[in-house]
Amino acid sequence: MGIASINPATGETIQTFEPLTDEAIALKLDQAQHAFERYRTIPFSQRAQWLSAAAQILEHEKEQFGKLMTLEMGKPIGPSIAEVEKSAWVCRYYAENAEKFLAPVAIETDASQSYVIYQPLGIVLAVMPWNFPFWQVFRFLAPALMAGNVGLLKHASNVPQSALAIEDICRRAGFPAGVFQTLLIGADKVAQIVNDDRVKAATLTGSEPAGASLAAACGKQIKKTVLELGGSDPFIVMESANLDEAVSTAVTARMINSGQSCIAAKRFIVQESIADEFLTRLVDKYAALKVGDPLQRDTQIGPLATASILHEIAHQVQLCQEAGGKVLIGGDPSALPTYADPRLKHGNFYPPTIVVDVPIDAAIAQEEIFGPVAMVFRVPDVEAAIRLANHSPFGLGSSAWTNIDSERDRFIQDIEAGCVFINGMVKSDPRLPFGGIKRSGYGRELGEPGIREFVNIKTVWVK
């Protein structure tokens, strides 16, 4: 697939783009380096003004940007608009807090003065995924630019219009030319860019193979990376939980972004004593979900972003069944009303699906399922719940539902993940650090740690 916007609800090609030539890439790198030499000296207050202006543009034009994302990757329109609002929030958050986060820190030693200052690194390359086309980029852009770095964006090949819109927002907000640029390139050009001496660091949000490939290229060049990769988050429900709330949240947590979120709940681990009741209610709620045209306000589940994701999900459900799993609801796209709708019949729709009885050691139970498919497992007690939660190569988020203090403390202490949410679903928030362990990656975005990833922590010692 080249660089193209293809409407996932209809299969219609909206626009195709020619990738940048090597000469055009070289010009963009020159421009970025030139911009950095001046931008690094610009005071925080000025950078904050530009970033606040970007927030304002996002807020004023949230309907248009929301529609753009929906048409490119199929997210239902309500969540698309909410994503634009959240992108404005992260801009305002760093505009207000960056100077405080990066203020010099005095440290007492034998020197007459010793302290630490935080300085920008230079050009940072961001390789981003399509699932949250605005949010993923703004949560990189806001801290990176406030710290005085300049950014180059290689966005996913199926969201080029979103990528261009973000570059344009930065320009209109007043950031000097070259401070934030979009590169319309394929993944095959990433190593070449990393190999340029002027590029100082890189971040990638996406799959494990892509992350490993970027980290290998950066490793050869001794360049810092942050990786935000996949997840197969556990959602644990214990007998003492508020079942009403747990079931409703379980639906949202799995179905967010039509199931295509790194921090979606993917493995439901339920205490045996309440498992039947949990499943009955979950199936009822799944049956009521509205799958359809993502531009309609009442649609809850849109199409998957690309035809290849649709095929992958269908294949993974088949693997669940071959391993012994049973499909309680869903599993058959031809049963959806979209299948009979002439306008949507070429869309990448997959029904909300629940699979039970997949053996925990089956290979498929270890994979990330990036669509509206929930795997539900039963466990006798807290010990078994934690063991199963940790029986995964990933360690991104986790959610646990209990009203027993000792169980809550065990989950907080013993789940191997970058975050644990008790009696709530995992969500990102500009104020809270976000990132994973194990094969979910390393480094953190957001919060105070997020702005410290791409800076030189310079020690100063004066006699």
Q: CB-wise, 292 or 418, nearer to ligand NAP?
A: 418
- Residue 396 DSSP class: S
Check residue 214 for interaction with ligand NAP (CB under 6 A).
Answer: yes
Question: Taking the complex as a whole, how short is the minimal distance between the CB of residue 196 and ligand NAP, in angstroms?
Answer: 15
Name the residue type at position 262: C
Residues 331-370 that bind ligand NAP (CB under 6 A): 368, 370
- DSSP output for 71-104: HHH---HHHHHHHHHHHHHHHHHHHHHHHHHTS-
Check residue 186 for interaction with ligand NAP (CB under 6 A).
Answer: yes
Q: CB-wise, 159 or 282, nearer to ligand NAP?
A: 159
User: What's the rounded Cα separation, in Å, for the pair 248 and 261?
Assistant: 18
Q: Could you tell me if 142 and 91 are in contact, meaning their C-beta atoms sit under 8 angstroms apart?
A: yes
| 233-237: strand order across its sheet | 326-329, 353-356, 373-379, 265-271, 233-237, 399-401, 421-422
User: What's the rounded Cα separation, in Å, for the pair 442 and 61?
Assistant: 34
Stretch that binds ligand NAP, among 97-105, 125-133, 357-365, 452-460 (CB under 6 A): 125-133
Q: CB-wise, 76 or 231, nearer to ligand NAP?
A: 231
Check residue 229 for interaction with ligand NAP (CB under 6 A).
Answer: yes
Check residue 205 for interaction with ligand NAP (CB under 6 A).
Answer: yes
Q: Could you tell me if 453 and 151 are in contact, meaning their C-beta atoms sit under 8 angstroms apart?
A: no
For residue 203, what are the CA distances in angstroms to 141, 370, 437? 11, 21, 15
Residue at shortest CB range from ligand NAP: 206
Residue 90, token pair as written in the block: 């992260």
Nearest Cα to Cα of residue 446 among 129, 148, 228, 208: 228
Q: 7, 70, 149, 157: which one contacts ligand NAP (CB under 6 A)?
A: 157
Q: Left if phi > 0, otherwise alpha if psi is -120 to 50, otherwise beta: which for 2?
A: beta
Q: Annotated catalytic, 262?
A: yes
Check residue 226 for interaction with ligand NAP (CB under 6 A).
Answer: no
Check residue 207 for interaction with ligand NAP (CB under 6 A).
Answer: yes
Question: Taking the complex as a whole, how short is the minimal distance between the CB of residue 162 and ligand NAP, in angstroms?
Answer: 12
Q: CB-wise, 61 or 312, nearer to ligand NAP?
A: 312
Other C-beta atoms lying within 10 Å of the C-beta of residue 297: 9
Among the residues of 257-404, which ranges form H helices? Answer: 272-287, 307-322, 382-390
Question: What 3-state DSSP class applies to 205?
Answer: strand
* 462, β-bridge pairs: 113
Q: 36, 65, 130, 180: which one contacts ligand NAP (CB under 6 A)?
A: 130
Check residue 128 for interaction with ligand NAP (CB under 6 A).
Answer: yes
Which burial class, exposed, middle or buried, applies to 335 when counting CB atoms under 10 A from its CB (0-12, 13-18, 19+)?
exposed
Check residue 190 for interaction with ligand NAP (CB under 6 A).
Answer: yes
Q: CB-wise, 34 or 189, nearer to ligand NAP?
A: 189
Site string for ligand NAP, 66-105 (x = CB under 6 A): ----------------------------------------
Q: 14, 187, 323, 422: which one contacts ligand NAP (CB under 6 A)?
A: 187
Question: What 3-state DSSP class applies to 277?
Answer: helix
Q: CB-wise, 152 or 190, nearer to ligand NAP?
A: 190
Candidates 228, 368, 445, 453; catalytic one: 228
Q: Which residue has the tokens 């626009």?
A: 15
Q: 55, 71, 179, 210: which one contacts ligand NAP (CB under 6 A)?
A: 210
Check residue 131 for interaction with ligand NAP (CB under 6 A).
Answer: yes
* 3-state secondary structure string across 356-374: ECCCCCCHHHHCCCCCCEE
Candidates 262, 320, 368, 453; catalytic one: 262
Q: 31, 33, 52, 213: which one contacts ligand NAP (CB under 6 A)?
A: 213
Contact residues: ligand NAP, CB under 6 A: 127-131, 154-157, 186-187, 190, 204-207, 210, 213-214, 228-231, 262, 368, 370, 396, 436
The residues assigned a catalytic role are 228, 262
